[in-house]
Amino acid sequence: MDAVQQRRWFITGISTGFGRELARAVVAAGDKVLGTVRTTAQMEKLAGEGIGAILMDVNDQAAVEAGVQAARARLGGVDVLVNNAGFGMVGAIEALALDEVRSVMETNFFGALRVTQAFIPAMRASGGTIVMISSMAGQVGFAGAGAYCASKFALEGLSDALGEELAPFGVDVLIVEPGAFRTDFAGRSMHGAEGSVDAYAGMQAGEAKKWAAAYSGTEPGDPVKGAQAIIDVIRAGNPPRRLALGADAVVGILAKLDNVRHDLDAWRDASLGTAFA
């Protein structure tokens, strides 16, 4: 697709935060967009900004299939699919109920998978880009955010494999890894474990929700600039597999990669010595 050609975007979760800023930036760039929200009030508010939206829960298979039909009817197809819908979950791993872990995996991982599978047939035929909104937490594990990290690590593993599978059909897969951006993610959108374990009191694992709430509103990342960076990468063509957003993401991911290389080098002989003689 030509760099200046008008693109058609389908973005999940555009009522607030990163998704909303991305939808606004897409419209401002002259592209078409259809996004998903959870209430009619949100849909009406976005309509006032010239942003098309439909009601869709990424955890509802029938609703997702209806979303594909709506994209075909209202946009004529999709060039860029953005899996943005998701939420944060914090709490020490020992304190997390399995149902709490399942809930964040259901939306952040299975929801993105469900939407992607529904759109793949049409995109495989016409090409395009699938954008997975991950996080630096999809590369770096954080105490107190194990469930959220697990959902994003899983999403990134799926996306790497998906990129290999769809490359022959002209479909790119871009994994976006934001650091801390000034949205409501760390505040209203953050879910905390209902249980707790006294042993983690005063530690990051035990106080993650409180610390996230205190940080909310002071994050260094500007979501408007982050949204524009995504559009610029898509329009440039031949997108990378990963796009880190924010200095904290770049520094944190590089530190993780350095640690991985250090461990590989330090234990290379043990690793290579496991083959049959």
Catalytic one of 151, 152, 159, 209: 152
Catalytic residue among 15, 135, 159, 216: 15
Listed residue (157, 218, 146, 159) closest to 187, CA to CA: 218
Does 134 participate in catalysis according to the annotation?
Answer: yes
Q: What ranges in 173-272 are assigned the alpha helix state H?
A: 204-215, 223-236, 247-266, 268-272
Q: Is 103 considered catalytic here? A: no
Using left for φ > 0, alpha for ψ between -120 and 50, and beta otherwise, residue 100 falls in alpha
Q: Cβ atoms within 10 A of the Cβ of 134, count? A: 27
Confirm whether 15 is a catalytic residue: yes
| Active site (annotated) includes residue 151 | no
Rounded to whole angstroms, the Cα distance separating 190 from 181 reads: 13
- If one counts every other C-beta atom within 10 angstroms of the C-beta of residue 35, the result is 28
Nearest partner of 193 among 144, 137, 141, judged by Cα: 144
Helices (H) and strands (E) counted in the chain, each on its own, are 10, 9
Candidates 32, 135, 148, 209; catalytic one: 148
Positions marked catalytic: 15, 134, 148, 152
